[in-house]
């Protein structure tokens, strides 16, 4: 008879792998990989299949959470800070020409309103990393700092 404790461990292992795969896909995109390249790496037939896989992973990672209050108020503050930065970026007519990864930052922030908790953390981390060396107008820089603080407060403590 099979060891049922091993079977019980499968859903948690699957959830960890889904989160890891999502993180790797997002990291590859941030580093400039095309959807076609990601599809090849995953053994998928098309860029559309890779994009659909990412969407499935976002849903799967989000479904593993206990709902919007799983991280408490710190998640709400993180989302609020990310949305504020998204509004500032959207209002800046010159944003897409400000620096090399400006368009990617704008597109990353556009995913914030519907991002599940784990994905929201990843999005905020990606935006902060992309903006680390960029000189921004004071109001936008202040919004980035508020996002950085909110991320630090929402991050699990060791």
Residue 124 has pLDDT above 90, yes or no: yes
Tell me what pLDDT residue 135 has.
93
pTM: 0.56
41-86 pLDDT, tens digit each: 999 999 888 888 887 877 776 655 544 444 457 888 898 999 999 9
Q: Is 88 helix (H, G, I), strand (E, B) or coil?
A: helix
Token pair of 100 as six digits? 């090399």
Mean pLDDT of the chain: 84
Among 16-25, 65-74, 91-100, the minimum mean pLDDT is found in: 65-74
Angle between helices 117-130 and 4-30 (to 10 degrees): 30
Angle between helices 138-154 and 73-91 (to 10 degrees): 160
Nearest alpha carbon to residue 92 among 140, 28, 132: 140
Angle between helices 102-110 and 117-130 (to 10 degrees): 160
């Amino acid at each position: 008879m099979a060891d049922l404790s091993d079977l019980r461990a499968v859903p948690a292992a699957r959830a960890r792998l889904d989160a890891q795969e999502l993180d790797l896909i997002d990291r590859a995109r941030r580093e400039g990989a095309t959807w076609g390249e990601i599809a090849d790496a995953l053994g998928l037939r098309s860029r559309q299949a890779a994009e659909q896989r990412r969407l499935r992973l976002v849903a799967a990672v989000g479904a593993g959470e206990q709902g919007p209050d799983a991280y408490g108020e710190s998640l709400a503050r993180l989302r609020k800070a990310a949305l504020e930065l998204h509004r500032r970026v959207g209002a800046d007519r010159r944003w897409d020409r400000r620096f090399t990864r400006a368009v990617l930052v704008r597109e990353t922030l556009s995913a914030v309103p519907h991002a599940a908790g784990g994905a929201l953390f990843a999005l905020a981390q990606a935006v902060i990393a992309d903006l680390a060396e960029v000189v921004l107008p004071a109001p936008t820089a202040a919004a980035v700092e508020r996002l950085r603080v909110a991320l630090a407060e929402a991050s699990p403590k060791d």
